[in-house]
Amino acid sequence: MKQVANIDEYNHYFHQPTLHPYVAVGDLSRADLTLFEPLDFGMYCVVLMDEDFGELVRGGHSMRYRAGTIFSLRPGQVVSMNLDYTRKPRGWMLAFRPELLENCGLGRDFYMFSFFQKDVYEALELNETERGIILNSFANLYAELNSTSDYLTNHLIRLCIGHLLSYCKRFFERQFAQRASVENSLRTRLDILIDNYLSSGMPAGQGQPTVAWCAEQFNLTPNYFGELVKRELQVTAHDYIQQKILMAAKYLLDTTTMSINEIAEELGFSYANHFTRMFRSMEGVTPLKYRKGKKE
């Protein structure tokens, strides 16, 4: 793993001159491909990926972003890309040294930009209007860096960066609010769907609810449904369904005198030992021991 020591080294990856000792903006379409090897940039970065050109990797986690995704990096974070060589990198990357924040308004306000403290895979998916605003912010900063330097240059560069970061903060908060709404709606609808099915008596004849069945009820493909559940609920669709089945099993064990075989059949298990194995793997005890423990 290599660390980028300064702005000169950063600009070397983009084959461009250094216009400011603490700030640079790079065009990803012009970047040397070694930029995408494991690197700690040693500075704050804001990256707009304007093309899906591979998987971003950090800390063993990988994520493939859509075009129009923006994310931030802080000093010490190591990232790399598993490039898709059928697609050319496209986007913009701002890098600025921590020294730029010293003794200025941007530094005093920097606590506001808490997205720098998030893991890199928590990215911002821009809509078209937001993308236009971000591209304009990058363009303004790029233009200022390439303008003739005068006594207002550093002030205007910090204003341009603050402008870009402020819009990122607004859009991150919009996304958080929307995702919270989507998550609540998705979780509620999925809970009602599975609960109604499990209590209907249908599992005994038709089997347990599956990812494909749930996706069909949402009028989605199984793959898209699975991606949606994983993104919004941070659990796979299969595991979420299994958790609901476990909850239903515990309810029946707690509130009825049904035998283990009857409960297994009620919940759509072909064999009681399959039910027992699932319950023990998720709860740590067999259904029988769970019921006895509740009575003691």
State pLDDT tens for residues 93-104. 999 999 999 999
**Does residue 25 fall inside a structural domain?**
yes
Mean pLDDT across 57-65: 79
Q: What is the pLDDT of residue 175?
A: 79
Q: What is the pLDDT of residue 294?
A: 64
Is the backbone of residue 219 left (phi > 0), alpha (psi -120 to 50) or beta? left
Look up the CATH number of the domain holding residue 256: 1.10.10.60
Q: What is the pLDDT of residue 182?
A: 64
Share of the chain above pLDDT 90, in %: 65
20 and 158 together in one domain? yes
Strand partners, 39: 2, 79
**Does residue 186 fall inside a structural domain?**
no
Q: 112 Cβ partners below 8 Å, 6+ apart?
A: 165, 166, 169
Nearest-angstrom CA–CA distance, 161 and 78: 22
Contact 49, 74 (CB under 8 A): no
Work out how many domains the chain is built from and give that number: 2
Higher pLDDT, 232 or 287: 287
Task: Indicate whether 10 pLDDT > 70.
Answer: yes
* Average pLDDT across the chain, whole number: 90
Give the helix, strand, coil percentages of the chain, each rounded to 5: 55, 15, 30
Nearest-angstrom CA–CA distance, 119 and 55: 15
Q: What is the pLDDT of residue 15?
A: 96
Mean pLDDT across 130-154: 95
Q: What is the pLDDT of residue 223?
A: 85
Nearest-angstrom CA–CA distance, 270 and 170: 51
166 and 267 together in one domain? no
Nearest-angstrom CA–CA distance, 183 and 280: 29
Question: Residue 64: which pLDDT band, with cuts at 50, 70 and 90?
Answer: confident
Mean pLDDT across 251-272: 91
25 and 65 together in one domain? yes
273 and 133 together in one domain? no
Packing angle, helices 222-233 and 237-255, rounded to 10: 70
The residue segments making up the domain with residue 118 are 2-179
Question: Token digits for 37?
Answer: 């090897």
Contact 23, 96 (CB under 8 A): yes
107 and 139 together in one domain? yes
**Does residue 191 fall inside a structural domain?**
no
Other CB atoms closer than 10 Å to residue 206's CB: what's the count?
12
Question: Token digits for 238?
Answer: 């299969």
Nearest-angstrom CA–CA distance, 229 and 179: 12
- State the DSSP H helix or E strand holding residue 288, giving kind and residue range, or none if neither: helix 287-295
51 and 156 together in one domain? yes
Q: Is the dihedral of CA 58, 59, 64, 68 positive or negative?
A: negative
Other CB atoms closer than 10 Å to residue 281's CB: what's the count?
10
**Does residue 277 fall inside a structural domain?**
yes
pLDDT tens-digit readout, 176-198? 776 666 667 888 889 999 999 99
219 and 170 together in one domain? no
Mean pLDDT across 251-257: 88
**Does residue 192 fall inside a structural domain?**
no
Question: Token digits for 64?
Answer: 């493939």
Higher pLDDT, 296 or 147: 147
230 and 290 together in one domain? yes
Indicate yes or no: pTM above 0.85: no
Nearest-angstrom CA–CA distance, 156 and 14: 23
Q: What is the pLDDT of residue 120?
A: 65
Of 175, 271, 186, 279, the C-alpha closest to 237 is: 186
144 and 220 together in one domain? no
Q: What is the pLDDT of residue 73?
A: 92
Look up the CATH number of the domain holding residue 103: 2.60.120.280
Task: Indicate whether 238 pLDDT > 70.
Answer: yes
Nearest-angstrom CA–CA distance, 25 and 260: 65
Q: What is the pLDDT of residue 121?
A: 59
147 and 236 together in one domain? no
Q: What is the pLDDT of residue 287?
A: 92
